[in-house]
Structure 1
């Protein structure tokens, strides 16, 4: 199925063609008709699945371009996400012959100027962070009481960042018949009260995929045991030759340390974390899009809040403390059908976390750096698997083996070894006699 099979407005088709969007993603193919039907919707799918256009295309299709009022409100939990949605919406609106007013209201911008502009006219589509949108609604500047659609994007992140209460207040000012669309990578239990309060018999769709992460991503696992991690990452950067690589760290302090180290070694590295002022972060993002950096060191704020085109590699400096962030980190690469490589550094103490990730359906390829290249290596479980394959010793045998480990007199080890071997021989003889009896009995029954 292609987008040409849909009966969209002509300017929507033009916008999709200009963006080289030919075929809908599985999420779009399944959910766009649901949104167009006017039903409330809870859409759950993995990151990078095309959720943004899943709600933007129907919103523009149902938009009354001649009505001078707010017709859709879209919230996102971070400025970066809101700005990405805004840019996608502007791209569609730019192909309309009618002037479509799409605005982006986020923190760190001039609220007074926004309020002044709202005095002359209201936008058709409002996009922004919950706090700034609610501030404008509460002040009486932004009038959303006639909106037809309300979108809560990245609902799980909205909940995690403590913005759900503000989203609740926005929803309370909307008309009762407003269509509510909730999109999220996961639907946590704590989100259920909000859904029950505002959504009327919603369509609940979980777009299942064969893998938790895109099958276009190679997911490597590299041990840091006995290695200097900074030097190891620097060595990897020389071997990867990335178009653009994101390096995720668990703390701001680690981001500062790694950024300084890589920069001192001549790499073009951007740094993004929660202590970077909004204006500085905006400047950095602009430089990233202009390809002024080849590497970005970021905390998990960026993992959930930024969608940067062209990320060829992701490096996990460490496994995230919240394992759900692993999927969002890795999902920064391998998007839109492109291939990507995700490299996770681990140490022996991370084994339980790796097992949990494997239970989620994430498969790792063990790698090492040798002779100036990445090479396949053995599975980290090879010793455990080998031990499992050995015959199980009975209690008497285990006791004998344990005795071997003690500090004993010369010659005694040989006696223990002989005893262990003799026990094995006896066991084999007993098993052989039992098989012989069974075979003789079977032959007698034949006659």
Structure 2
């Protein structure tokens, strides 16, 4: 569906033209009409599906530019995500013939300066992290009591990071005749009481992806058994030749360790995790956007919601502790029809998690690094499958031998003997073929 069919205000269409947005994504096509209708909404869709403009475009459409008060409040769980929403809103606002004031309130910024500015004039649209917005509301400096729209973006991450209490308090400061919009990659059970408390007969829309992982992504699995993981990742970086590669780790400590190792080996690597000071994080993100780094090491929560363009490779240093993050990680590459490669390192103890991911419809291609390149290798289940087959054959032979030992007619006895001989011959032929295949493969690899 083309954006022109929504019949937005002229300046919104000009903003879309500058962005070269012509066709709405599935999320935008389904949910923008709901937001324009004024209904409460719970929109569930994966990261990178176009959620930000799904709520921003209707907000600007419904905005009264002449009304000097806060009309919309948008919360995001991280400073980086709030800043991205702010920048997207500013891009639209700049084309309005009447000034539209958009403000971004996040932790780590000058609160005193924000309070001074609010004393002179209130913004039309408030964007920020829950903690800072609530601080300004509680002190009486930010007047949101007449707002008409409240957006909670990345609600599941807001819950995970422990910010739902602040969002609850912000919601309690807003008027009752309010349109409440909740957007999330998933809607966990623990979020339900909050939704029931504030949303009135909401439209609940789940935008299911046609494929769990885009078919433009090569999804590889590499074993770390018997290998030093740091040196293995370093070896991979030499083979990948990425435009930009993101390596996801499970803890801040691991991020620090891997980052130090890669930098010590001469790579340009950025590091993103929750323990980095806000000013430093902003500096790093600007450097990433300016292509000053070829590699990024990041934790899930710090990187969630950050839109980094041009990611050609993803490396999972380990299977994420929350398996739902796997799709978020891998989905950072292979966007907009471009190809991408996702590489997951695993050890035998990860097998149960890998099987759970496979049940979701995620397919892996087993790879090994050999002779200075990524090569196809055997599936990790080959030994278990072989043992099952051998066990099955053994059980059949045991049954036949037992039958032969019984006192039965001579003619039938001969037939059983033939069956046993025939089965043993089939086994010998299968073993011979397997040895021949192994020899041929070894010969090919030697060239």
Q: Residue 336 of structure 2: SS of its match in structure 1?
A: coil
| Structure 2: distance between partners of 1:429 and 1:265 | 61
1:339 Cα shift?
Answer: 2.4
Residue deviations 1:256-306 (CA, integer Å, cap 9, x gap): 221111111111011112221111111111111111111011112233142
Q: CA deviation at 1:307?
A: 1.9
1:133 corresponding residue in structure 2: 133
Moved more, 373-382 or 54-63: 373-382
Corresponding residue number in structure 2 for 1:266: 266
Once residues 95 and 415 of structure 2 are traced to their aligned partners in structure 1, the CA distance between those partners, rounded to angstroms, is 81
The farther-off stretch of 299-308 and 10-19 is 299-308
Report Cα offsets for 1:141-169 as digits up to 9, x if no partner.
11111111100000000011111111011
Query: For the residues of structure 2 that align with 1:297 and 1:423, how far apart are their CA atoms?
Result: 69
Moved more, 318-327 or 64-73: 318-327
Per the alignment, residue 74 of structure 2 pairs with: 74
Cα deviations by residue, 1:196-233 (Å, 9 ceiling, x for unpaired): 11000000000111222333322111111122211111
Cα distance, 1:423–1:156 mapped onto 2, change above 3 Å = farther
Per the normalisation by structure 2, the TM-score is 0.87
Q: How many residues align?
A: 410
- Tell me the CA shift for residue 425 of structure 1: 5.1
The answer to whether the 8 A contact 1:46-1:212 is kept is no
Task: Determine if the alignment matches structure 1 residue 243 to structure 2 residue 243.
Answer: yes
Deviations 1:351-377 (A, max 9, x none): 111111111221111112222222222
Does 1:339 pair with 2:339?
Answer: yes
Q: Does 1:43 align with 2:43?
A: yes
Shift of 1:379: 1.5
The residue that corresponds to 2:116 in the other structure is: 116
Cα contact 1:154–1:183 (8 A) shared by 2: yes
Name which of structure 1's ranges 95-104 and 376-385 shifts more when overlaid on structure 2: 376-385
Structure 1 stretch displaced more, 208-217 or 249-258 = 208-217
Residue 225 of structure 2 aligns with which residue? 225
Query: Does the Cα contact within 8 Å between 1:219 and 1:341 map onto a contact in 2?
Result: yes
1:11 aligns with 2:11: yes
Give the Å deviation of 1:384.
2.4
Mean Cα deviation higher: 128-137 or 373-382: 373-382
Cα 1:425/1:202, change in 2 over 3 Å: same
Q: Distance in 2 between matches of 1:291 and 1:152?
A: 31
Contact 2:78–2:302 (CA under 8 A) maintained in structure 1: no
What does residue range 403-418 of structure 1 map to in structure 2 within 5 Å? none
Aligned-residue offset at 1:59: 0.6
The answer to whether the 8 Å contact 2:45/2:184 transfers is yes
Q: CA deviation at 1:239?
A: 1.3
In structure 2, what is the equivalent of residue 414 of structure 1?
A: none
Q: Unaligned stretches of 5+ in structure 2?
A: 402-412, 424-447
Aligned to 2:290: 290
* Counterpart contact for 2:75–2:130, Cα < 8 Å: yes
Report what 1:370 is aligned to. Answer: 370
Residues of 1 paired with 2:45 and 2:309: CA distance?
20
Query: Is contact 2:77–2:157 with CA below 8 Å preserved after alignment?
Result: yes
Secondary structure of the structure 2 residue equivalent to 1:208: coil
Superposed CA RMSD in Å reads 2.2
Unaligned 5+ segments in structure 1 are: 401-421, 433-447
* 1:315 equivalenced with 2:315 (yes/no): yes
What is the deviation of 1:120?
1.0
CA drift at 1:427: 9.2
**Cα distance in 2 for residues equivalent to 1:117 and 1:98:** 20
Aligned residue in 2 for 1:386: 386
Report if the CA contact (8 A) 1:248-1:297 is conserved: yes
Q: Note if contact 1:103-1:123 (Cα within 8 Å) is conserved in structure 2.
A: yes
Name the structure 2 match of 1:144.
144
TM-score, normalising length: structure 1: 0.87
CA drift of 1:349 comes to 1.2
Q: Tell me, what secondary structure is at the counterpart of 1:298?
A: strand
Superposed CA offset, 1:159-180 (max 9, x none): 1111111101111111111100
- 2:182 aligned counterpart, secondary structure: strand
| CA deviation after TM superposition for structure 1 residue 426, in Å | 4.8
Of 303-312 and 134-143, deviating more is 303-312
Question: Is contact 1:150–1:180 with CA below 8 Å preserved after alignment?
Answer: yes
